[in-house]
Amino acid sequence: MSLAGLYYYFESKERLLYLIQKHTFATIVQRLKTRLEGVSDPELRIRIFILNHLEYFLANQSAMKALSHEDEVLKNGFGAEVAAIKREYYRICVGLLDELKRERGLQFSTRLAVLSLFGMMNWIYTWHKPRVDADADSIACEMGDLFLRGVMASGKKRGDGR
């Protein structure tokens, strides 16, 4: 089916983009909530978050590329609904990092850590090549190590006033 043929079934390109974004983010959030059930270790919960995100992104690279480039075009109420789901996802990640901070007695900017993690994960579509790079499990493990070692090392309470 051609792109023009696809648009025949939707009232607008915006409506199609809205449906893709809504489905994508709702699916990611629901899968994450299911995976987090019964898991209490804060570090493991963050690793689950990373794996959930990367698995979906790598399995749906075309959709993720479209979402990354068409993030701000939704109008007429479509954008507000998708933004609410994205805020929920962001808040889940904030909660996971705050749990880790409490348990380990760490001090760092949760906002900066969360946005840095999203930056690391969201750009995977620009460089991941299935024939060259590892699968989602391996990449999630390594990204998790890089991220967690960073926040845990930089987040230790310092005596130097920083």
> 38 in a domain, yes or no?
yes
Predicted model pTM: 0.87
> 2 in a domain, yes or no?
no
Residue 154 reports pLDDT greater than 90: no
> 70 in a domain, yes or no?
yes
φ/ψ (deg, to 5) at 106 = -95, 155
> 34 in a domain, yes or no?
yes
The enclosing domain of 113 has a CATH number of: 1.10.357.10
> 3 in a domain, yes or no?
no
Count of domains forming the chain: 1
Inter-residue long-range contacts of 125-133, CB under 8 Å, 24+ positions, other chains counted:
125/57, 125/61, 125/64, 125/65, 125/68, 128/58, 128/61, 130/58
> 64 in a domain, yes or no?
yes
Write out pLDDT tens, residues 93-120. Answer: 999 999 999 999 999 999 999 999 999 9
> 4 in a domain, yes or no?
no
Task: Give the span between the Cα atoms of 64 and 122, in whole angstroms.
Answer: 9
Residue 123 reports pLDDT greater than 70: yes
Q: What is the pLDDT of residue 18?
A: 86
Q: What is the pLDDT of residue 161?
A: 44
> 112 in a domain, yes or no?
yes
pLDDT level of residue 49 (50, 70, 90 thresholds) = very high
Instruction: Single out the residue of 151, 88, 83 nearest to residue 120, CA to CA.
Output: 151
Task: Give the span between the Cα atoms of 145 and 149, in whole angstroms.
Answer: 6
